[in-house]
Amino acid sequence: MTRAPLVALLLLGACQRTPEATPAPAAIALTSQSITLPPETATLPASAEILTTNCTACHSAEQLLTQPKLDAKTWTTEIGKMRTAYKASIDPKDDPKILAALLTLPNQK
């Protein structure tokens, strides 16, 4: 048994060209940008201060005022979803006040 074929394979492998390393990407420059949002024209009634405190960090007054008319059970589910799915920092003790404010919002479609 000859070792010549084995040696030839080893030499062939050693002589093969290795791929060149991929150069690192150039540095990315990030810059600050600003945008101008349209003016907020809708306002919540003073009686809905609890919504301003708990909801308007994520939802505009216009969005709150144009929600379809929902029943108490559906709004309760939505409040819970905001807390659990979206991690809204809504204190559960405020749920009854939030629910009452949502049920009495004007302009609900």
What are the boundaries of each domain within the chain? 43-109
Instruction: Note the helical H segments in 1-104.
Output: 4-15, 49-54, 61-65, 72-84, 95-103
CA distance 102 to 20: 64
* pLDDT for 21 beyond 90: no
- DSSP letter (8 states) at residue 66: T
Average pLDDT, the chain: 86
Provide the pLDDT for residue 102. Answer: 95
The structural architecture, per CATH, of the domain 43-109 is: Orthogonal Bundle (1.10)
